[in-house]
Amino acid sequence: MSFQKGTWVPLPSNCSRDYTLTYSRCAEYGVLLFLNCISWVANVTVQCAQWAWQAEQQCVSWAQQTAQQCTNWAQQTSQQCCNWWPCSWLCSALMTVISWVCTAFAVIVTVVCVAFAVVVTLVCLVFSLIVTLVCAVAALIVFTFCLLWSVVSIIFCISNMNGGTAFLLTDGTVMIQECQSILSQFFPEASWGTRRWWKLTPDAFGSYANGTWSRLADSNVGRLYYASAVLADGRVLVCGGEWTDTSGFVQQDEVNSCEIYDPVQNSWTVVASPTAGTPPVAWDHVGDAPCVVLPDGKFLVGSNESSNVAELDPSTLAWTAMNTRSTSSSSEESWVLMPDNTVAAPSCISPNTTWVYDIATDTWNPGNPLPQDIVNTVQEVGPALLRYDGTAFFFGANQHTAIFTPAASPSWSNGGDLPPQNGQNIGIVDGPAALLVNGNVLFGAGPTDTAGDFIAPSMYFEFDGTTFNRTDDPPNNGCPTNKSRLLLLPDGSVLFAREDDSSFFAYQPAAAVPQDAFRPVIQNCPTSLVPGSTIQISGLQFNGLSQAVAYGDDCQNATNYPLVKVVNLGSGHVTFCRTFNHTTPDSNGNPVPSMGVATGAAVITTNVAIPPTLESGKSSLFVIANGIPSQAFAVTVRER
């Protein structure tokens, strides 16, 4: 069967008619302008003053050396003068006067040098005050403009949020960070993650295209490019950040701070930083570190500046230092959780080197080297996903790809090269990929060069395991791949967002019917649902066959956890029920968190909160994992 391209469906824009928010979005540009201007002025002033006093020191040193040379000359000349009186007396007196003159010269020059430095310093300070005033006036102009612009924006509804990292919450809603940008194609630092977060809720029929946006609580830090995950209890963890506003203005500070979002309370809580050593010491930086949620629900993160690895227990929010790696860091890596309780990861710091982390023994075991390097010249790599055939597929930041086959020997090999476009090689220099319900991998790739630059546009493909099939691009694909995000939705479509654009789209593959073997299987579920109650549902493959969504070190938003959807047979209305604390029995029969992949015959149980507003009547219940629904399970929703 020949490949059929999917289609991109527009999702609702996040238009705000709230004056305070609209003004805040606009005024942030003024704040950014003022703070960066002040930062520049401070740096220039310090450099100016340092130059002045360095010049003063050089000047004084020259004066002292010249005076000393003058004095030495006078003394030497005095020794060579006549030795009969009164000639000798006159000669000595003359040389003494000359020495005094030399000393006076040094003092005068020193005073002039110091005065010069003081004057230059004062000029520097005056300059800084003038430029600071200009900065303040420019910011004030922006703020004043924003007062008027906000009114216009509200009238015409043109104040929209840009996209950012998105998560699928366990109640079927999409949580997404708002980003801001200005001329980001020229100034990467002018694209930043704000503290604002939003939620997209599907409509009564489960449509995200007709869904609505609502505001969530602001986080404590605005971050861009960070470690993250949805946890087994439904909370969302974000950790680090390559660019943050921690200092008061946006800068590349690679912070070590972490926080966790509780969707039930709609609140953020600060979490301690990862630690290393005994006694434990917090990491200096986390930045855009790679991470993965392990099968037992714990959060593993690797340092991007050292060989340290740490693990967070979500139940206690306590960090444990794990065994270090023999490589200098985990920087830029893409980690893939495998069904056999391991994590596969090619190294970016040591190209061609591969690693397999054994979770049970906490050891990083080297694999065979890759024949062709998939890392580019600036040590970037693309996303990686576990495919339904049990292999992990890694996209390179160059045109090469890699495959990890656990049972093979050697386990690591190269896959096919990405096909050149318009005569130019393509790759994924940071960027997203998603596993479609039909088993194909959706990804965007961009032009590559020897400098490792981020180059637009993003060109989209479906990889079926053999062929990279060119599909249609999202309408706003004119960006490098690192600016985009993908998220697999419960209906099998894939959300596309850009951190520098306010338009959102969903990719709907032409062949969207999964194989029955991919589906979750419901084994136990109450047939009568009481609104406002909590039930348990158990069965197979509730965690899906893959983490299904990947980006790499800058964004992790896997969807390998169960969602529950109830469809009323009379009205057709769709309601998602929040799931939490997914568990599976351990070897002793005790329930432990379940966040693995391709769990096979293991029975997974999830807790399900039945909404108080759930519509009564005969309904069908579905468990969904990675966009793939189970077969319908008949239930009756009782009257409220």
Cα–Cα nearest to 424, from 381, 459, 374: 459
Judge whether 1 lies within some domain.
Answer: no
Distance, CA of 209 to chain centre = 26
**Amino acid making up residue 354:** T
Q: Same structural domain for residues 263 and 135?
A: no
CA distance 489 to 229: 16
User: What is the domain-level CATH number for residue 603?
Assistant: 2.60.40
User: What is the domain-level CATH number for residue 272?
Assistant: 2.120.10.80
CA distance 26 to 370: 49
Side-chain half-sphere exposure of 604, counting CA atoms within 13 A:
33
Q: Same structural domain for residues 256 and 134?
A: no
Cα–Cα nearest to 456, from 474, 438, 435, 478: 478
Q: Same structural domain for residues 425 and 560?
A: no
Judge whether 24 lies within some domain.
Answer: no
CA distances from 413 to 93, 325, 367, 393, 409 (A): 91, 22, 10, 10, 10
The pLDDT tens digits for 307-322 are: 999 999 999 999 999 9
Q: Same structural domain for residues 129 and 45?
A: yes
CA distances from 608 to 42, 170, 349 (A): 55, 10, 43
Helices 87-156 and 19-80 cross at an angle (nearest 10°) of: 170
The region, left, alpha or beta by phi > 0 then psi within -120 to 50, assigned to residue 125 is alpha
- Provide the residue range defining the domain that includes 587: 518-637
Q: Same structural domain for residues 147 and 167?
A: no
CA distances from 251 to 32, 39, 183, 241, 284 (A): 11, 11, 16, 10, 16
What are the backbone dihedrals phi and psi of residue 426, each rounded to the nearest 5 degrees, phi first? Answer: -125, 155
Q: What is the 3-state secondary structure (H, E, C) of 242-273?
A: CEECCCCCCECCCCCCEEEEECCCCEEEEECC
Q: Same structural domain for residues 277 and 351?
A: yes
Q: Same structural domain for residues 212 and 351?
A: yes
How much is the pTM? 0.88
CA distance 139 to 131: 12
159, 265, 316, 584 alpha-carbon torsion, rounded to 10°: -100
Domain C-terminal end among 481, 501, 517: 517
547 near 629, Cβ under 8 Å? no
**Strands 528-529, 633-637: pairing kind:** parallel
In sequence order, the β-bridge partners of residue 624 are 563, 629
The total domain count for the chain is: 3
Q: Same structural domain for residues 138 and 206?
A: no
- Give the number of other CB atoms < 10 A from CB of residue 133: 10
End-to-end CA distance of the chain: 50
Q: What is the pLDDT of residue 89?
A: 63
Q: Same structural domain for residues 473 and 568?
A: no
CA distance 461 to 448: 16
CA distance 357 to 338: 10
Judge whether 544 lies within some domain.
Answer: yes
Judge whether 420 lies within some domain.
Answer: yes
- Give the number of other CB atoms < 10 A from CB of residue 451: 9
CA distance 403 to 395: 9
Q: State both tokens at 166.
A: 């998105």
Q: Same structural domain for residues 105 and 166?
A: no
Q: What is the pLDDT of residue 263?
A: 98
**Amino acid making up residue 235:** R
Q: What is the pLDDT of residue 324?
A: 93
Distance, CA of 611 to chain centre = 33
**Order of strands across the sheet that contains 299-302:** 291-293, 299-302, 309-313, 318-321
Q: Same structural domain for residues 537 and 497?
A: no
Cα–Cα nearest to 560, from 319, 302, 229, 151: 229
Q: What is the pLDDT of residue 86?
A: 63
CA distance 571 to 124: 73
CA distance 82 to 159: 94
Judge whether 26 lies within some domain.
Answer: no
Q: Same structural domain for residues 529 and 485?
A: no
Exposure letters 552-584 (e unless 16+ CB within 10 A, then b): bbbbbbbbbbbbbbbbbeeeebbbbbbbbbbbb
162 near 184, Cβ under 8 Å? no
Judge whether 196 lies within some domain.
Answer: yes
503 near 611, Cβ under 8 Å? no
Q: What angle do CA 220, 223, 224 make, to 5 degrees?
A: 165
Question: Could you tell me how many residues make up the chain?
Answer: 640
| Tokens 């003053």, located at residue | 49
**Amino acid making up residue 628:** I
Judge whether 98 lies within some domain.
Answer: yes
Cα–Cα nearest to 297, from 591, 577, 603: 591
Domain C-terminal end among 517, 540, 559: 517
Domain C-terminal end among 156, 176, 191: 156
Q: What is the pLDDT of residue 464?
A: 95
Residues of the chain with pLDDT under 70: 1, 74-75, 77-90, 183-190
Q: State both tokens at 626.
A: 């990675």
The pLDDT tens digits for 548-562 are: 999 988 999 999 999
CA distance 222 to 469: 37
CA distance 353 to 337: 18
CA distance 111 to 117: 10
462 near 442, Cβ under 8 Å? yes
Q: State both tokens at 173.
A: 């809603």
| Tokens 């005068």, located at residue | 108
**Amino acid making up residue 216:** L
CA distance 595 to 604: 10
CA distance 601 to 588: 16
The helix/strand count (H/E) of the chain reads as 2, 44
